[in-house]
Amino acid sequence: MADGIEHHTTGGITRRATLAGAVAALGLAAAGTPTSLRAAAPFTFASIDGGTLALGDWAGRPVLVVNTASLCAFTPQYEELQTLWERYRERGLVVLAVPSNDFRQELGSEEEVREFCEVTFGLDLPMTEITRVRGPSAHPFYRWLAAEHGFRPRWNFNKVLIGPDGMPVRSWGSGASPLSASVVGEIEALLDP
Protein backbone atom coordinates (compact mmCIF):
# COMPACT_ATOMS: atom_id res chain seq x y z
CA MET A 1 0.00 0.00 0.00
CA ALA A 2 1.10 3.55 -0.60
CA ASP A 3 1.28 4.48 3.07
CA GLY A 4 3.03 1.26 4.18
CA ILE A 5 0.19 0.30 6.52
CA GLU A 6 -2.21 -2.57 5.89
CA HIS A 7 -5.84 -1.56 6.50
CA HIS A 8 -9.03 -3.40 7.49
CA THR A 9 -11.86 -3.30 5.01
CA THR A 10 -13.36 -0.79 7.48
CA GLY A 11 -10.39 1.55 7.03
CA GLY A 12 -8.66 0.91 10.38
CA ILE A 13 -5.02 0.07 10.84
CA THR A 14 -4.22 -3.62 11.09
CA ARG A 15 -0.42 -3.90 11.15
CA ARG A 16 2.69 -1.99 10.46
CA ALA A 17 3.70 -3.37 7.07
CA THR A 18 7.20 -1.99 6.58
CA LEU A 19 9.44 0.49 8.28
CA ALA A 20 10.27 2.04 4.91
CA GLY A 21 6.58 2.49 4.12
CA ALA A 22 5.98 4.15 7.48
CA VAL A 23 8.88 6.54 6.92
CA ALA A 24 7.60 7.37 3.43
CA ALA A 25 4.13 8.06 4.78
CA LEU A 26 5.53 10.35 7.44
CA GLY A 27 7.47 12.31 4.85
CA LEU A 28 4.13 13.61 3.63
CA ALA A 29 2.95 14.61 7.12
CA ALA A 30 0.69 17.63 7.28
CA ALA A 31 1.81 20.79 9.04
CA GLY A 32 1.82 20.38 12.79
CA THR A 33 2.13 16.58 12.71
CA PRO A 34 5.23 14.64 13.72
CA THR A 35 7.75 13.59 11.10
CA SER A 36 9.92 11.04 12.93
CA LEU A 37 9.56 7.36 13.75
CA ARG A 38 8.38 8.38 17.21
CA ALA A 39 5.39 9.85 15.42
CA ALA A 40 2.98 9.74 18.34
CA ALA A 41 5.53 11.05 20.86
CA PRO A 42 4.89 14.80 20.42
CA PHE A 43 1.20 14.52 21.30
CA THR A 44 -0.03 15.46 24.75
CA PHE A 45 -3.44 15.26 26.38
CA ALA A 46 -4.86 17.10 29.37
CA SER A 47 -5.19 14.57 32.20
CA ILE A 48 -8.54 14.14 33.93
CA ASP A 49 -6.56 14.35 37.20
CA GLY A 50 -4.86 17.61 36.20
CA GLY A 51 -1.57 18.08 34.44
CA THR A 52 -0.54 16.54 31.16
CA LEU A 53 -0.28 13.05 29.71
CA ALA A 54 2.53 13.05 27.13
CA LEU A 55 2.76 10.12 24.72
CA GLY A 56 6.49 10.85 24.54
CA ASP A 57 6.79 9.85 28.21
CA TRP A 58 5.79 6.34 27.12
CA ALA A 59 8.17 6.07 24.15
CA GLY A 60 9.46 2.54 23.83
CA ARG A 61 6.27 1.10 25.32
CA PRO A 62 3.05 -0.05 23.62
CA VAL A 63 0.07 2.22 24.28
CA LEU A 64 -3.53 1.14 23.76
CA VAL A 65 -5.57 4.32 23.18
CA VAL A 66 -9.35 3.95 23.54
CA ASN A 67 -12.00 6.64 23.02
CA THR A 68 -14.53 6.02 25.77
CA ALA A 69 -17.93 7.17 27.04
CA SER A 70 -19.76 6.60 30.32
CA LEU A 71 -23.28 6.08 28.94
CA CYS A 72 -22.63 3.66 26.08
CA ALA A 73 -23.62 0.01 25.70
CA PHE A 74 -19.86 -0.70 25.47
CA THR A 75 -19.04 1.10 28.75
CA PRO A 76 -18.57 -2.25 30.60
CA GLN A 77 -15.35 -2.57 28.55
CA TYR A 78 -13.82 -0.22 31.13
CA GLU A 79 -13.55 -3.26 33.41
CA GLU A 80 -11.56 -5.16 30.76
CA LEU A 81 -9.35 -2.13 30.07
CA GLN A 82 -8.54 -1.97 33.79
CA THR A 83 -7.75 -5.70 33.74
CA LEU A 84 -5.34 -5.20 30.79
CA TRP A 85 -3.68 -2.33 32.65
CA GLU A 86 -3.25 -4.38 35.82
CA ARG A 87 -2.07 -7.49 33.97
CA TYR A 88 0.50 -5.90 31.66
CA ARG A 89 1.65 -2.54 33.05
CA GLU A 90 4.67 -4.11 34.75
CA ARG A 91 5.70 -5.45 31.33
CA GLY A 92 5.37 -2.01 29.71
CA LEU A 93 1.77 -1.62 28.50
CA VAL A 94 0.00 1.70 28.90
CA VAL A 95 -3.79 1.82 28.54
CA LEU A 96 -5.03 5.36 27.87
CA ALA A 97 -8.76 6.12 28.11
CA VAL A 98 -9.90 9.17 26.13
CA PRO A 99 -13.44 10.12 27.23
CA SER A 100 -15.33 11.81 24.41
CA ASN A 101 -18.81 13.20 23.89
CA ASP A 102 -18.54 13.08 20.10
CA PHE A 103 -21.26 10.41 20.05
CA ARG A 104 -23.32 12.17 22.75
CA GLN A 105 -22.87 9.48 25.38
CA GLU A 106 -20.50 11.09 27.88
CA LEU A 107 -21.29 12.67 31.22
CA GLY A 108 -21.24 16.47 31.52
CA SER A 109 -17.95 17.08 33.32
CA GLU A 110 -14.55 15.58 34.00
CA GLU A 111 -15.43 15.30 37.69
CA GLU A 112 -18.52 13.21 36.87
CA VAL A 113 -16.53 10.98 34.51
CA ARG A 114 -13.71 10.48 37.02
CA GLU A 115 -16.11 9.66 39.86
CA PHE A 116 -18.21 7.30 37.69
CA CYS A 117 -15.13 5.39 36.50
CA GLU A 118 -13.56 5.13 39.96
CA VAL A 119 -16.76 4.08 41.74
CA THR A 120 -18.18 1.78 39.04
CA PHE A 121 -15.02 0.17 37.66
CA GLY A 122 -12.23 0.99 40.12
CA LEU A 123 -10.29 2.63 37.28
CA ASP A 124 -6.79 3.91 37.98
CA LEU A 125 -5.43 3.77 34.43
CA PRO A 126 -4.40 7.04 32.72
CA MET A 127 -7.39 9.04 31.49
CA THR A 128 -7.67 12.30 29.60
CA GLU A 129 -10.16 15.10 29.99
CA ILE A 130 -13.26 14.90 27.78
CA THR A 131 -11.72 15.16 24.30
CA ARG A 132 -12.91 15.54 20.70
CA VAL A 133 -11.88 12.52 18.59
CA ARG A 134 -13.59 13.25 15.24
CA GLY A 135 -13.76 16.07 12.74
CA PRO A 136 -11.79 19.27 12.27
CA SER A 137 -11.77 20.13 15.98
CA ALA A 138 -10.58 16.66 17.04
CA HIS A 139 -7.51 16.40 19.24
CA PRO A 140 -4.32 16.61 17.10
CA PHE A 141 -3.52 12.94 17.87
CA TYR A 142 -6.83 11.86 16.31
CA ARG A 143 -6.42 14.26 13.38
CA TRP A 144 -2.97 12.70 12.79
CA LEU A 145 -4.44 9.17 12.92
CA ALA A 146 -7.12 10.17 10.39
CA ALA A 147 -4.83 12.07 8.01
CA GLU A 148 -1.80 9.80 8.09
CA HIS A 149 -3.23 6.38 8.90
CA GLY A 150 -6.88 6.42 7.81
CA PHE A 151 -8.25 5.73 11.29
CA ARG A 152 -11.30 7.59 12.57
CA PRO A 153 -13.31 6.32 15.53
CA ARG A 154 -16.71 5.19 14.27
CA TRP A 155 -18.16 4.92 17.77
CA ASN A 156 -17.12 4.80 21.40
CA PHE A 157 -14.55 2.24 22.53
CA ASN A 158 -12.61 2.11 19.27
CA LYS A 159 -9.08 1.00 20.08
CA VAL A 160 -5.72 1.90 18.53
CA LEU A 161 -2.52 0.16 19.55
CA ILE A 162 0.57 2.38 19.25
CA GLY A 163 3.79 0.39 19.07
CA PRO A 164 6.97 1.07 21.05
CA ASP A 165 8.26 3.01 18.00
CA GLY A 166 5.33 5.44 18.21
CA MET A 167 3.61 4.12 15.10
CA PRO A 168 0.07 2.68 14.94
CA VAL A 169 0.14 -1.12 14.85
CA ARG A 170 -3.53 -2.11 14.74
CA SER A 171 -7.02 -0.83 15.44
CA TRP A 172 -10.25 -2.47 16.55
CA GLY A 173 -13.87 -1.34 16.59
CA SER A 174 -16.22 -1.07 19.53
CA GLY A 175 -17.24 -4.72 19.42
CA ALA A 176 -13.71 -6.03 20.01
CA SER A 177 -13.33 -6.99 23.64
CA PRO A 178 -10.13 -5.59 25.19
CA LEU A 179 -9.43 -9.10 26.50
CA SER A 180 -10.07 -10.84 23.17
CA ALA A 181 -7.37 -13.07 21.71
CA SER A 182 -6.89 -10.57 18.89
CA VAL A 183 -6.21 -7.58 21.16
CA VAL A 184 -4.21 -9.49 23.78
CA GLY A 185 -2.13 -11.27 21.13
CA GLU A 186 -1.08 -7.99 19.49
CA ILE A 187 -0.24 -6.46 22.88
CA GLU A 188 1.75 -9.45 24.12
CA ALA A 189 3.86 -9.45 20.95
CA LEU A 190 5.05 -5.95 21.87
CA LEU A 191 5.68 -6.41 25.58
CA ASP A 192 8.90 -6.86 27.51
CA PRO A 193 9.46 -10.54 28.41
72 catalytic per annotation:
yes
Q: Point out the catalytic residue in the list 40, 66, 72, 81.
A: 72
Q: How far is CA 140 from CA 11, 41, 82, 160, in A?
A: 19, 12, 25, 15
**169, 190 in Cβ contact below 8 A?**
yes
CA distance 2 to 29: 14
Q: CB atoms < 10 A from the CB of 13, how many?
A: 24
Catalytic sites, residue numbers: 72
